[in-house]
Amino acid sequence: MPELYHFYTDAGEHWRYNDGKRTETLAFLDYAPQPISRTRWKRDLKDQSITLRVPLMLDPFNLFVTGNPATVLWGEILKTTSGTRIVAGKVVSVESIVADRVHEVRLMVSSRKLLSDVPARKFAPGCQWDLGDSGCGVVLNDFRKVFAVVGTISDHGLTVTHPDIGDEADGYWTRGYLQNGSERAFILSHVGNVLTLLNPFVRLTNANFELYPGCDKSTATCEAKFNQLSHFNGFPKVPRKNPVTEGF
């Protein structure tokens, strides 16, 4: 019996395939036939993963053609007859093998997360919250700007220009991100009404961009830009210079 492959993003996009020769249906959802193959599940402590081989032009793996996207892509493999989950995890890498016209997709099995080191709190000058998370206090939608995609993107896809971007001082959007559908692009710089992006968008699924500001993790930005100094989670007085290795 063929196996079912379900890939999805946190934004609610779904792609469903099976490795057989005809469409399979489970719980009223269709899984299209595709020439997909996979390795056995590695279950050692260092590498609990599965490698899939999928057609080169198959969605959504073209998101990875220009680099690892900000979009988190999840996957699960199911039994056709019962829908029982065989394995599930996060797509951590996609390697294009053009000669064979395939992508090799590495799926890290969810149980592997339990083996990851738990990061300890750092005593560093910068704030340790991510902008907009539960401890930060900033509601990102309060700072969001929305504008139409049409006519804003350069030919190479790495700069976006729109008059509304210039409403804020230079640097305001730096370290933030631009979003379209489930795709995000990190903003390297903001000057005037122009944004420079780390990566181009692979596909534009929405008519509008959503623009979110960045944060440099400093107390000055926390207070002046976001008015959330009471939530600052850093140690700004910690010395930045090590007197043992660098002298006084």
pLDDT tens sequence across 179-198: 998 788 899 999 999 999 98
Neighbours of 175 (CB within 10 A): 19
pLDDT at 233: 93
Report pLDDT for 120: 56
> How far from 12 is each of 75, 176, 183, CA to CA, in Å?
13, 22, 12
- In the prediction, which pLDDT does 112 show? 46
Burial of 227 (0-12, 13-18, 19+ CB in 10 A): exposed
At the topology level, CATH places domain 3-114 in Pnp Oxidase; Chain A (2.30.110)
Beta-carbon contacts of residue 210 (< 8 Å; ≥ 6 apart)? 144, 145, 146, 178, 179, 180
| pLDDT of the residue at 70 | 63
* Domain boundaries of the chain, sorted by first residue: 3-114, 140-246
Please give the pLDDT value at position 247.
74
pLDDT for position 13: 87
Identity at 194, one-letter amino acid code:
V
* Separation between Cα atoms, residue 247 and residue 232, nearest integer Å: 30
Angle at 54 between CA 52 and CA 58, to 5 degrees: 135
Residue 161 CB coordination number (10 Å): 14
Mean pLDDT (10-residue bins), the chain, 248 residues: 92 91 95 94 69 92 68 89 90 89 89 50 84 92 95 92 95 94 89 92 88 95 96 88 76
- The pTM of the full predicted model, rounded to 2 decimals, is 0.66
Instruction: In whole angstroms, give the CA distance from residue 201 to residue 244.
Output: 46
Cβ(107)–Cβ(90) below 8 Å: yes
Q: CA–CA distance from 109 to each of 42, 87, 187 (Å)?
A: 9, 7, 31
Distances (CA, A) of 100 to 14, 53, 151: 26, 10, 37
Taking the CA atoms of residue 173, residue 177, residue 179 and residue 182 in that order, the dihedral angle to the nearest 10 degrees is -170
Residue with tokens 């390795």: 39
| Burial of 97 per CB tally in 10 Å (0-12, 13-18, 19+) | exposed
- pLDDT at res. 109: 85
Confidence (pLDDT) at 134: 87
Residue that has been written with the tokens 């930045």 in this structure: 240
